[in-house]
Amino acid sequence: MYTRRWFFDELAHAGREHLDPHYVAAYDGKAGTDVVEEVALLRDLGLNERSMLVDLGAGTGTLALAAAPHCRRVVAVDVSRAMLDMLNTKAVRLGMANVECVQAGFLSYEHRGEMADYVYSRNALHHLPDFWKALALERVAGILKSDGILRLRDLAFACDQDEVDRVIENWLASAAERPDKGWTRAELEAHLREEYSTFSWLLEPMLERSGFEIRQTSYGTASVYAAYICAKHRS
């Protein structure tokens, strides 16, 4: 299917900035992501030295590299060459030989070898419109072992349509003042215009229809982020 002319162009929708080495070089400072709790959560869910984890839309590898010492193999997948070059540089510096980088997208990644125990994805799925999200999630289920775990975090609106204006204005009001400190109002507005954050109440049926049982859901206080622990149904 990937060769069809009507297929979604993941690179064209990856966000121009994510392909830019200068932006990528400053990304970790801007994002300021602390993954300690996420790694602890994965370990609570059973991640161990026998596990294989795939991180989809891995970016500079903050989660992939923090999880790698606790598992056997990590595959970090991203459409952006610049992101993967940064991830690879960090992996080499840290001496992490069990992290493999693959340049591909949710829709084009071809998983090889054993099925994954865990799939992780943070703040990346919103680069796909809903039709393609649904197809991507079905592909994610295809990567995982039966009972395997998907930890999905993304920008998703946990509110009704008539609350959108209020929720978004509150979110924009909390934006960073400077781009090196986080996402500014202009960047969040561009996200809303150009990317595909959806409603949590659309995303959840997509997960279920793709073969997942949602075991835990949490929405940030601002109702603009959703985080799920999902288990692939036994086949």
Ligand X SMILES: C[S@@+](CC[C@H](N)C(=O)[O-])C[C@H]1O[C@@H](n2cnc3c(N)ncnc32)[C@H](O)[C@@H]1O
Nearer to ligand X, 52 or 87 (CB): 87
What is each CA distance from 23 to 16, 27, 31, 197, in whole angstroms?
A: 10, 6, 11, 22
Alpha-carbon distance of 220 to 68, in angstroms, equals 27
Judged by CB under 6 A, the stretch of 46-54, 74-82, 170-178, 189-197 that binds ligand X is 74-82
Under the binding rule (CB under 6 A), the answer on residue 127 touching ligand X is: yes
Tell me the closest approach of the beta carbon of residue 75 to ligand X, in angstroms: 12
Q: Which one of residues 57, 198, 229, 230 is an interface residue with ligand X (CB under 6 A)?
A: 57
Alpha-carbon distance of 207 to 121, in angstroms, equals 13
- Cα-Cα-Cα-Cα torsion 39, 128, 22, 85, nearest 10 degrees, comes to 60
Under the binding rule (CB under 6 A), the answer on residue 98 touching ligand X is: no
First-to-last alpha carbon distance for the chain, in angstroms, is 24
Under the binding rule (CB under 6 A), the answer on residue 83 touching ligand X is: yes
Q: Is 229 left (phi over 0), alpha (psi -120 to 50) or beta?
A: beta
Q: How many residues make contact with ligand X (CB under 6 A)?
A: 22
Q: Which one of residues 42, 124, 149, 159 is an interface residue with ligand X (CB under 6 A)?
A: 124
Alpha-carbon distance of 111 to 33, in angstroms, equals 27
Under the binding rule (CB under 6 A), the answer on residue 225 touching ligand X is: no
What is the per-residue binding string for ligand X in 130-169, x denoting contact by CB under 6 A? Answer: ----------------------------------------
Q: Are 115 and 101 in contact (CB under 8 A)?
A: no
Under the binding rule (CB under 6 A), the answer on residue 200 touching ligand X is: no
Interface residues with ligand X (CB under 6 A) are 10, 14-15, 18, 31, 33, 56-59, 62, 78-80, 83, 105-106, 122-124, 127-128
